[in-house]
Amino acid sequence: MSNDTPTVLVTGGAGFIGSNLSDRLLKEGARVRILDNFSTGFRENLDEISGDFDLVEGDVADPAVVASAIDGVEMVFHQAALPSVPRSVEDPVSTHKACVDGTFNLLLAAKDAGVRRFVYAASSSAYGDQPTLPKAETMAPAPMSPYAVAKLAGEYYASAFYRVYGLETVSLRYFNVFGPRQNPSSAYSGVISRFIDALMTDSRPVIYGDGEQSRDFTFIDNVVDANIRAANSADAPGLVMNAANGERISLNDLLSALKKIVGKEVDAEYLEARTGDVKHSQADNSLAVRTIGYKNLVGLEEGLRKTVEWWQSSRFAR
């Protein structure tokens, strides 16, 4: 690799999305530096990355760590966060520190270091529980949880740093991302990884509410590709764009689809709906399609099969 190859920083690079993104960047020839405090990421995810990378172990909420990690970096992919709506309801302080303070620290350091572009992992939770479907970026935000507010604050900071300081920022609102390396053993994991884990271990999958709530489940490859496109598009700076599948499915129908793939018939356990959860979510991807050439590379059914296959050979299989 030549010395003029750009260095990119992936925050949260040991996490589900960050490790998959780091893998893709390395395969495309980038020099990758990963910043992670391993609060929700796993060293095992790093073992699955194909290529050499620099690792900075530390917290995005620590300005000194961030300044060191961002030195010499041309591009930042900010994936680090303390994810989960329920976790933010239980512990809003930690969510604010990780998501708001951490994002501000990174933006400030990126501005001072002369970073060319900053791609921010935003969240569809910004839309809240508005009945209008699909969700378009022109809709007024209506966050319902501390997590949603914290992620939205990051969007606003990113936009402000673009307008005021000229730092090229792009925010991608993710919709229920799933796929390989998503940890199914955590109470805060995505529902697909938890459903698969339950089915494969003959446990009853847990559904909060009646299961008729619907989500726009997006396979990891689509989100990784959106990040790469957002980093390279001349028209992307300053924008907030959805990155999603563009379709929705109820949790009951999702579980039925997974039962067919796994070949198990296990009844769900229905529990009380959780505070802060929205009823329905579906993205309008048209802005990302027009602006960065976003493509839905992997559909829901294919993504589910790929995720089940990964689980079967993963450390979670038992």
In CATH terms, the fold of domain 7-178+217-246+282-297 is Rossmann fold (3.40.50)
Mean pLDDT of 270-287: 93
Torsion of CA 182, 186, 188, 189, to 10 degrees: 20
Tens of pLDDT, residue by residue over 43-62, are 999 999 988 999 999 999 99
Q: Produce one character per residue of 88-101: b if its CB has 16 or more CB atoms within 10 Å, e if not.
A: bbeeeeebbbbbbb
pLDDT averaged over every residue in the chain? 95
pLDDT in tens, 117-174: 999 999 999 999 999 999 999 999 999 999 999 999 999 999 999 999 999 999 999 9
pLDDT score, position 318: 62
In whole angstroms, give the CA distance from residue 193 to residue 77.
24
